[in-house]
Structure formats: C-alpha cells, structure tokens
Amino acid sequence: MIFQPAIIALLLASALCVLALVASAPFALDVIRRWDIKSGSERQLQMERRTYLFSTLLTFVLALQLAAVLLFVFNAEKMSGMFVGAMCAVGTLNVNAFGFPALNAKIAVFFLAAMWLAINHVDSRARDYPLVRIKYALLLLLAPLLVASGWVELQYFLGLKADVITSCCGSLFSEGSPTLAAEASALPPRPAMWLFYGSLGAAIAVAAWHGYRGGKGSASAYALAIASAIGFATTIAGILSFVSLYIYEHPNHHCPFCILKPEYGYQGYWLYVPLFAATAAGLAAGAVQPFARIDSLRAIVPGFSRNLAAIAANGYALTAVIATAMIWQSRLILLEH
Amino acid sequence: MKLWLAKQRYLIDFTLASLARRKTRNLGLLLVYTLLVFMLASVTLYTHALRQEAARVLAASPEVIVQRMVAGRHDLIPPGYMEKIGRIRGVQKMEGRLWGYYYDAVTKANYTFMVPAGNPPAAGEIVVGPALERSRGLAKDNGISFRSYSGKLHTFIVADVLPQASELVSADLVLMSEQNFRAFFDYPVGHYTDIALSVANPQEVRNVAVKLGAALPDARPILRDEVLRTYASIYDWREGIVLALLSAAILAFGILAWEKASGLSAEEKREIGILKAIGWETGDVIKMKFWEGLLISLTAFLAGFVAAYVHVFHFAASLFEPVLKGWAVLYPRFQLTPHIDGLQVATLFFFTVVPYAAAVLVPIWKAAITDPDSVMRS
Amino acid sequence: MIELSGIRKAFNQGHDNEYWALDGIDLSIEAKKVTALRGPSGSGKTTLLTIVGCLARPTEGRVRLLGEDISGLPERFLTEIRRKRFGFIFQQFNLIKGLSALDNIILPAYPTGRPRRELLERAEELLAGLKLGHRRHAKVEWLSGGEQQRVAICRALINDPELVIADEPTANLDTHLSREFMGILEGLADQGRTILLTSHDPLVVESDVVQRVIDMRDGKLIDEH
C-alpha cells in the first residue's frame, strides 16, 4: 500500500460511511419489527424521531460518496507518475484488478443513495409514513453494498506498489512488468456519436414526456429511469470515444478523467455535473414510481416525479449542449464531412 | 425553490445571530479548528511545494545517468568506457560528468564540487551556490581556500553566485573547471564520475536503458523518471507519516467537537425548545445547526489555510522544516514557489471538515429532537 | 372546532414511575369562544393544552381538528398544523434573549419562507396594535414584564392563527397588567379567534371575557360552568 494523504482520507471516508450504516442497522430492524404509526406510545415517538437521524446520516453518506468519487479520480490522476507506463488516471486504475471496480462501486453507491433519499423524501411527506418499513429494509440492503465498495477500495489501495528506486539503487526492476493500459478501450467515433446523441435525445424526450404528463404515468417514469441508466452509460462511452478526443485535440487520447484537469480548464466538470445530476434524478423518478399507487402518496409522487423529470431533461440537455460546444470549438477533425 | 432559498436564508440569519450571541463559547472551538487546519495545511502545502521543487530541478537533468558498479559499489568510469557503449539509437548526447563531495571543516557541512557541462568557469575561478555565499560570507571576486583531501591548500576566486531560484539543489554547489577539479581531488585523467545520456523521446528511455544493460553488464542506468517517482513517493510517505501522527490531533478535535455539540448550555436548550414550540420542525432545527457547522467550518478552514500559506511561503515553514525537508547539515534557505493544488485542498477538507461533520451529526440530531412541549413543562 | 375523545396521556411509560397525566378526557372546544381550564397544579391542564395545541401526542384516544383525525400524525405534520393554526402565549413568555422584539415576533414564520418585508410589516402592525411600536428594536431582555408579554402575544399572532393558546398568562403579572391582558384577550376574541387558556387566577376565570370554564383534577374533567 502507498502511504499517502489522499488514500488515507478516502479510506477514512469509507470507514465513516460503513460505520454510519452499520450503526443504523439495529435501528432499521427495530423499525421493521415494531413500527406502528397508530400508536401514541413513547417508543413509537422515539422511533419517529430516530428517522430524522437516519435521513441526515444518509444525506451525509451521499455527500461523502460524491466527494469521494471526485477525490478518488483526482488522486488516481496524481498517482499516475508513480507507476511505469501509467500516463493518467486510467493507467493508475489499471494497476490492479480492483481499480475500476472500486470506482464503479462508488458511483453505484452514489446513485443508490440518491434513490433511497428520493424514496425517503416522498415518504416523509405522506402523513402516515407508508414506506417506512420498505425504506429501512432497503437501507439494510444498501449497507452490504457499501461495505463491499469499501472492501474493494481497500483491496485496490493495498495492492498499489509504487515503482520506486529502493535503497538508492537505480535499476530497471519494472522492466518485466506488463505495461499498463494507459488508454481505455473505446468505440469507433461514428457509431459512438450516434449512440451518444441518440440516447441523450431519447432520455430528454422521455423526461419531457413524463414531465408533460405531470409526472403521473408509471410507464413514463420507468422509461425515464431506464433511459437515464442507458443515457449515463452511453454518455460515458461517448466521452471516452470522441468527446475527449475533441477536448484534447488528439486523435488517440481516450480518457474520461484528464478532462477534469486544470490543463483542460476543468471542462470535465461541465459535462459530468449535469450528467450525474440528471441520471440521479431520472433513476429517482423510477425508484419512487412503484409507490405512486399508495393512497397517501397519490398526491405527492407525481409532483415530485415531475420535478425530477425536469431536472433530468435539463441536465441531459445541458450535457448534450456542452459536449457539442466543446466539439464545435475543437480544432480536431475526426469525421470527414 | 424560491421558498426554499428564503427559508435557508432565514435559518442562516438566525444561526449567525445566535453565533454572535455566544461568541466566547464558539471561539475556543473555532481556534482549535483553525489550528488543526493550519497544521495539516502547512504539512501538505510544504511537502507539495517540495515535490514541485524537486520536479522542477530534475526537469533539467539528463534522462539517463550511467554509473559503473564494482563489487556492488559505485565506482569511477574508466577511460574507454564510453566508447564501449557506442552509438545507441535514440541517444542524442552522451557525456562524462565530474562531481564529488567535499567536507568543509569550517562550516561543518558538505559541498558538492562539480564541473558544469557547458561553459565551465575559467581556471582558478569558481561559481558558488547561495548557501555557501551566506555561510562563508562570500561575494563576487572574493577569494576562498579549501584544503583538499591530499592536504594541499587550493585558492579560488568567486566568479559568480548562483541564483536563488532552485536553491534546494544548488545551495551547496561549487562549480569549477575540469583541470581545477582533477587537481583538487587528484582525480585520475580520463576517468569520470558518471555518464549522462540525453534521450529526446520519452518512450525510448526504457529501451535505451535496456540496451545499456546489455552492452555493459557492470553499468547501472538511473532513469530520471524513476528518480522523480522516488522523490514523489518519499515526500508522499513523509506527508502521510506526519498526517498519521497528527491523526491523534484530528481524533482529539473530533472528540472536542462532539463534546461541544452535545454539551448544549441550558440557554441553548431552552432556545431550541422555544423554536420547536412556536412551529419550527425538527428538520428545520437540524438545517439551522447544519448551517452553523458549515459557517464554523468554512471560517476555520479559510483562516487556517491562509495562515498555513503565509507560514509556508513567507516564513519557510519554520515549524515543520526539520521534520519534512531532509538530512543535509547545510539547510538550504530557499523561497518555495507558492502553489495550491486542488487535490491537496480536497484532501485537507476530508481530513478536517468530514471528521467535524461526523462528530457533530449525532449531537445535532439529539438537540433537534427536543420535545416541543418542554417549554411548557418547566 | 376541536374534539377530544378518550384522551389519555402517560409519561415514563413502561417504567416504575409511570404516571398518567390525563385519564380519559372527552371534550369539545367550540370555535370563536374563550374557554378556560381551571385546576390545581398537577391536575393535567397544561398537558391537555399541549395535546390540543399539537405540541404532544396522546398515548391513547383521538383528537379531531375540524373533523380530521390528527392523533396519529407524526410530529412533522403536527408541527405544520401548529404553525398554521395555533398561536402560543407561554407563562414564562419564552422570548429569545439577544434578539430584538421584531426579530422575536417573526421567528415562527421562518419555516414558512414568507418574504421578510411582508413579515416585518405584519409585525409592526401587531406591535402598533398593542401600543409597543416604539420598542420594536429593543432587545427583549430590556423590556418590562408586561411589554415582554405583549411581544409574546404579537409572536403568537404572526402566522394569523385561528386558535390562540395561553398557559397561565397572568401568573407573572400584577393586577393592573393582568387587567390589561384581559383587555387584549377580549380584542382577540372580538376578531373571531378561538381562545383556550389555563389559569387559576380568579381575575381571569371570573372575567366576562371567558365564556366557558372547565374544572380539572387528577387528569379528569370534573365540572363545567
């Protein structure tokens, strides 16, 4: 393992998240077993008050996960100098088999936490808290995922060994080591472009349709969640395949992370922030939809769902516009017209 | 959305007013918080600046240096050795270098004597680094004598003093001509200390080193990238060690924050009770307390970071210098180039704000669930 | 307006010191009337007030507000109802020290996010109505007892509640100030607000303003006038 501040910080953050969720597990079980909204007993009152703690905790976990994803990528970028053949974050993440899984797990936990918070939001606006049991059962499911994500991350960091000169002996010790894939594999640009604009357009259309229906249709809500998931995947593929090339103005540099660097004016944030927000909103719309039929939620879910659809539509539109603007300004020509 | 913003503004207004009313109570925590940020920020800013400095210095050094090994020890390059290497594809330039260490009994420090590659000083003249200029009180055109290892006294005229720019490496440098160098150290003619190779294409460096190894089994090629990597990880490691040592301080701070947040005064408890009775929701109180924590954190972070910046870049990190810099007796006194790095700030944030947030979360909730009817029962 | 049926309220439930503060209360509070709860301390009148005012939930029994059952509602929604419909005047006034009279008055409206200017206008209006306009920027700890109470009344009215709840409002006032308070109360009743108060002060319960007096003892209603 490399003993380094950012790594310690990341492990600390993971430990805190795991601790928060594990500590809440007994309470979640308690709620599932004993929750009784009709009761006026003091125990019920205490349980209700605890729910505030857990929604605050989960918000904290969500915020921490988001910050950790950024720090993780940042740090991978910076550490690339320590590994022979690693030119940027992609290389660092490829140092061992746990790098990309760790990143993906973090992103997954982020989206799942966002979906949980969406369910929590609608539930806490209904006067009878109809989803309390479901919510805390989901929380119990989220805990092992978080633990797994922390474990993968730990394995990744433990497996890192910098290729450095030991005891002042210059040597070519790393000569035999396989070169790290410094580039992520990427689709050819033309189909990737079709996919990119096609799926973003579809996601925007579905979100607009769902919003237009006042967030009411369950088909449109599920379609929005699916379109968001696909939109996220293809947008990342598109960034890998051609958007990054235009930003770097280099026909072979496929890297989704370098665009976050100051050298490229932090352009990546303009792409990723709306993309993540839109995807989280789209997935959340799907997450709350199964409960739309519950009496007390009938008046709450559609309005919230419509707001989510608006966020998703705007986010994806912004992503598409920004990517197009970046391509427009680039001096690189990938496709002959 | 507008409503939400208006609400947050009210909460911030209220929390600002209540912070102002309890200045002394919060001052202690704020001071400790600021101090913690200051310490951690000093360490990270300083090590980062050192890393940058090393990278800058090494940027000008050759891509590959070849040393000759005898019995596992570094030995002189004998005459004819360079010819044996011959031409390697990709190598732009190859030259023998002459340098060595000299212990100066007057200042009790080691100097690096060296023959520069391009335009060396004239015979009998030397160019010295800024540390020498200070410790021996030298100026341009002064004379200085060194007693060589063979016992003879050699006198040189100082032709120039090296600029301060990269003092970390050049501080103890003494540049002289080849004849002077060989005469001073009794260095055998035709021998060199090591060989420097320039390689234009970075992708070729590794191949060149492999070919060198094949041609001369007793040669040890040292790649600049590897040195750079080693420096970087040494500084990372030191930074990590210091942070790990300071983690006790972070923990203590977390406990203090927890204590402060849970030990609400009777007055504060009463206030929260009143707020809840007159129609504030538990969530509103949590949000209000969240803003309070955020304001304290940002203030402490900003103050601590600015103080650390001044400490590192204007006072040369005088508090941590001995631990972090190195082992040379002749401490270079150098001005670090101010540099702030996003990753550093983000890491620092993780080390300070996150523990604080985690520590106050439960106490805040505890305060917020005060019974709304508590004010009527007293 | 409010109907209580079979209300019981326990403290320290399940412990050795379990104690039932209310024990089977059936009561209907009519709109636009002034009702007083009378009884010795410990009779449960303040506890009853907290249940009517949505500050606490009954352990058993039902509370109906305008026909809607609110007894099982989580605190979050009780708070919302309390904020919108009830104004509170506490025995100890319970103003927040260090804030001006105006700032204290607009506090209950913070969670609503109503524009500040609107709130300040309303607060000034209320203060002027109680002849306290000249003290609006004074810190509350500088105000006299009577002035503090009037600030507390203004605070209770900032969200324009239908029902005003007062707990022992004259306990900390002398006779002159108590009379003044009854005058203010009459004004509120004339505005069509429902008023519910607890008191054992004869000056209050025997006043003409109070239309209905309910006697309590040991957590039960015992008599009504």
Cα torsion A261, A264, A269, A275 to 10°: value is -120
d(CA A304, CA A182): 43
| CA separation, residue B331 to residues B230, B235, B321, B328 (Å) | 21, 17, 10, 6
Q: What is the pLDDT of residue A185?
A: 60
pLDDT one-digit tens code per residue, C3-22: 999 899 988 888 888 888 99
Q: Are A158 and A48 in the same domain? A: yes
Please enumerate in sequence order all residues whose Cβ is within 8 A of that of B349, keeping only pairs 6 or more positions apart, or say none.
A67, B301
Percent of chain B residues topping a pLDDT of 70: 93
Residue A168, domain member (yes or no): no
pLDDT one-digit tens code per residue, A42-56: 888 888 888 888 888
A277–chain C nearest CA distance, Å? 26
Question: Where does the pLDDT of residue A166 fall: very low under 50, low under 70, confident under 90, or very high at 90 and above?
Answer: very low
Q: What is the pLDDT of residue A149?
A: 93
Q: Are A216 and A332 in the same domain? A: yes
In 3D space, the residue among B252, B343, B253 whose CA is nearest the CA of residue B296 turns out to be B253
Q: What is the pLDDT of residue A318?
A: 94
Radius of gyration of chain B (CA): 31
Question: Where does the pLDDT of residue B326 fall: very low under 50, low under 70, confident under 90, or very high at 90 and above?
Answer: low
Mean pLDDT across chain A, nearest whole number? 84
d(CA C76, CA C79): 5
Residue with tokens 């209000």: B288
Q: What is the pLDDT of residue B329?
A: 41
- The better pLDDT of the pair B190, B298 is held by B298
**pTM tops 0.90, yes or no:** no
Question: Where does the pLDDT of residue C123 fall: very low under 50, low under 70, confident under 90, or very high at 90 and above?
Answer: very high
Q: Are A292 and A202 in the same domain? A: yes
Residue A105 C-alpha from the chain's centroid: 8
The beta-carbon neighbor of A127 closest among C10, C60, C73 is C73
Q: Is A11 near chain B, with CB under 8 Å?
A: no
Q: Are A114 and A188 in the same domain? A: no
Q: What is the pLDDT of residue A153?
A: 93
Kind and range of the H or E run holding B223: strand B219-223
A60–chain B nearest CA distance, Å? 8
- The better pLDDT of the pair C54, A91 is held by C54
Question: Where does the pLDDT of residue A38 fall: very low under 50, low under 70, confident under 90, or very high at 90 and above?
Answer: confident
Residue with tokens 């912004």: A318
Q: What is the pLDDT of residue A178?
A: 44
Q: What is the tally of structural domains in chain A?
A: 2
| CA separation, residue A32 to residues A4, A26, A277, B304 (Å) | 42, 10, 31, 45
Q: Judging by DSSP bridges, how do beta strands C2-11 and B91-104 pair with one another?
A: unpaired
- The better pLDDT of the pair A188, A103 is held by A103
Query: Residue A253: which domain range?
Result: 183-337
In 3D space, the residue among B95, B63, B85 whose CA is nearest the CA of residue B192 turns out to be B95
d(CA B344, CA B351): 11
Residue A176, domain member (yes or no): no
Cβ distance B279 to C111 less than 8 Å, yes or no, reads yes
Q: What is the pLDDT of residue B323?
A: 62
Given a cut of 60, whether residue A337 has pLDDT beyond it is no
Question: Where does the pLDDT of residue B285 fall: very low under 50, low under 70, confident under 90, or very high at 90 and above?
Answer: very high
- Chain C residue with the nearest C-alpha to that of A44: C74
Question: Where does the pLDDT of residue A228 fall: very low under 50, low under 70, confident under 90, or very high at 90 and above?
Answer: very high
- The better pLDDT of the pair B41, B221 is held by B41
Percent of chain B residues topping a pLDDT of 90: 14
Average pLDDT value for residue range B248-271: 86
Question: Where does the pLDDT of residue B220 fall: very low under 50, low under 70, confident under 90, or very high at 90 and above?
Answer: confident
Average pLDDT value for residue range A114-130: 90
Residue B78 C-alpha from the chain's centroid: 39
Collapsed DSSP state (helix, strand, coil) of residue B63: coil
pLDDT one-digit tens code per residue, A242-288: 888 888 777 767 777 878 777 777 788 888 889 999 999 999 999 99
Residue with tokens 């590192």: B312
Contacts of B270 in chain C (CB under 8 A): 94
What would you measure as the largest C-alpha separation in chain C, in angstroms?
A: 53
Question: Where does the pLDDT of residue A214 fall: very low under 50, low under 70, confident under 90, or very high at 90 and above?
Answer: confident
Q: Are A159 and A11 in the same domain? A: yes
- Dihedral sign for Cα atoms in the order C168, C174, C176, C177: negative
Question: Where does the pLDDT of residue B151 fall: very low under 50, low under 70, confident under 90, or very high at 90 and above?
Answer: confident
Question: Where does the pLDDT of residue A1 fall: very low under 50, low under 70, confident under 90, or very high at 90 and above?
Answer: low
CB atoms within 10 A of CB A329: 11
| DSSP assignments along A24-80, one per residue | HHHHHHHHHHH--TT---HHHHHHHHHHHHHHHHHHHHHHHHHHHHHHHHHHHHHHG
Question: Where does the pLDDT of residue B322 fall: very low under 50, low under 70, confident under 90, or very high at 90 and above?
Answer: low
Domain final residue, candidates A163, A194, A221: A163
d(CA C146, CA B167): 75
Per residue, the 3-state secondary structure of C76-136, as one string, reads HHHHHHHHHHEEEECCCCCCCCCCEHHHHHHHHHHHHCCCHHHHHHHHHHHHHHCCCHHHC
Q: What is the pLDDT of residue B334?
A: 55
Question: Where does the pLDDT of residue A179 fall: very low under 50, low under 70, confident under 90, or very high at 90 and above?
Answer: very low
- The better pLDDT of the pair B260, A171 is held by B260
The domain spans of chain C are: 2-224
- The better pLDDT of the pair A241, A120 is held by A120
Q: What is the pLDDT of residue A164?
A: 54
Query: Which A-chain residues 210-239 have CB contacts (< 8 A) with chain B?
Result: none
The domain spans of chain B are: 2-58+229-377, 77-192
Q: Is A8 near chain B, with CB under 8 Å?
A: yes
Q: What is the pLDDT of residue A198?
A: 93
Average pLDDT value for residue range B198-225: 78
8 A C-beta contact, residue C105 and residue C158: yes
Question: Where does the pLDDT of residue B197 fall: very low under 50, low under 70, confident under 90, or very high at 90 and above?
Answer: confident
Given a cut of 50, whether residue A167 has pLDDT beyond it is no
Q: Are A199 and A247 in the same domain? A: yes
| Domain spanning C2-224: CATH superfamily | P-loop containing nucleotide triphosphate hydrolases (3.40.50.300)
ipTM value for the complex: 0.92
Cβ distance B44 to A81 less than 8 Å, yes or no, reads no
The beta-carbon neighbor of C107 closest among B275, B281, B283 is B275
Contacts of B236 in chain A (CB under 8 A): 2-5
Cβ distance A53 to B362 less than 8 Å, yes or no, reads yes
Q: What is the pLDDT of residue A170?
A: 38
Q: What is the pLDDT of residue C194?
A: 93
8 A C-beta contact, residue A209 and residue A220: yes
Lowest model confidence (mean pLDDT) among A68-72, B39-43, B109-113:
B109-113
Average pLDDT value for residue range B271-286: 91
Residue A171, domain member (yes or no): no
Per residue, the 3-state secondary structure of B12-43, as one string, reads HHHHHHHHHHCHHHHHHHHHHHHHHHHHHHHH
A48–chain B nearest CA distance, Å? 10
Q: What is the pLDDT of residue B34?
A: 94
Lowest model confidence (mean pLDDT) among B146-155, B161-170, B199-208:
B161-170
| DSSP assignments along A227-294, one per residue | HHHHHHHHHHHHIIIIIHHHHHT-TT---SSGGGSGGGTTHHHHHHHHHHHHHHHHHHHHHHGGGTTS
Residue A299, domain member (yes or no): yes
pLDDT one-digit tens code per residue, B344-371: 888 888 888 988 998 998 899 988 988 8
Please enumerate in sequence order all residues whose Cβ is within 8 A of that of A199, keeping only pairs 6 or more positions apart, or say none.
A227, A230, A231, A234, A235
Task: Catalogue the E-assigned strands of chain C.
Answer: 2-11, 19-29, 34-38, 60-65, 68-69, 86-89, 163-167, 194-198, 212-217, 220-224
User: Looking at the DSSP assignment, which residues form a beta bridge with residue C5?
Assistant: C62
pLDDT one-digit tens code per residue, A297-331: 888 999 999 999 999 999 999 999 998 988 888 77
Lowest model confidence (mean pLDDT) among A100-104, A332-336, B92-96:
A332-336
d(CA A169, CA A26): 54
d(CA A243, CA A247): 6
- Chain B residue with the nearest C-alpha to that of C119: B10
Q: What is the pLDDT of residue A320?
A: 92
Q: Are A138 and A223 in the same domain? A: no
Average pLDDT value for residue range B267-282: 90
Cβ distance B279 to C56 less than 8 Å, yes or no, reads no
The beta-carbon neighbor of C76 closest among A42, A43, A124 is A124
CATH class of B77-192: mainly beta
Average pLDDT value for residue range C192-216: 90
The beta-carbon neighbor of B222 closest among A10, A16, A170 is A170
d(CA A8, CA A16): 12
Q: Is A52 near chain B, with CB under 8 Å?
A: yes
Average pLDDT value for residue range C128-141: 89
Contacts of B355 in chain A (CB under 8 A): 12
Q: Is B288 near chain A, with CB under 8 Å?
A: no
Per residue, the 3-state secondary structure of B113-182, as one string, reads EEECCCCCCCCCEEEECHHHHHHCCCCCCCEEEEECCCCCEEEEEEEEECCCCCHHHHCCEEECCHHHHH
Q: Judging by DSSP bridges, how do beta strands B153-161 and C60-65 pair with one another?
A: unpaired
Mean pLDDT across chain B, nearest whole number? 82
Average pLDDT value for residue range A182-190: 65
Average pLDDT value for residue range B296-317: 89
